[in-house]
Amino acid sequence: MVTLLWYEGQCCIGVNLDTAAVPDPAGLVTDLQAGLDAVVALGR
């Protein structure tokens, strides 16, 4: 589960995962960061 929360100009992302379903949590975080970076770059 990934949750994005925006409040008073601050954005936070929370990730809750099942390690049985996601064998490489660090890889997931790396991929999420790359995707977020790509989205932010589009807004520049």
Q: Where are the domains of the chain?
A: 18-44
Contact 17, 1 (CB under 8 A): yes
Q: For residue 42, what pLDDT is reported?
A: 95
Q: For residue 44, what pLDDT is reported?
A: 82
**8-40 tens-digit pLDDT:** 999 999 999 999 999 999 999 999 999 999 999
Q: For residue 21, what pLDDT is reported?
A: 94
Using CA of residue 19, residue 10, residue 6, residue 36, what is the dihedral sign?
negative
Query: Is the entire prediction scored with pTM above 0.95?
Result: no
Contact 5, 14 (CB under 8 A): yes
Q: What is the CA radius of gyration of the chain?
A: 12
CA atoms within 13 A on the CB side of 28: 13
Q: For residue 20, what pLDDT is reported?
A: 94
CA atoms within 13 A on the CB side of 27: 5
Q: For residue 6, what pLDDT is reported?
A: 94
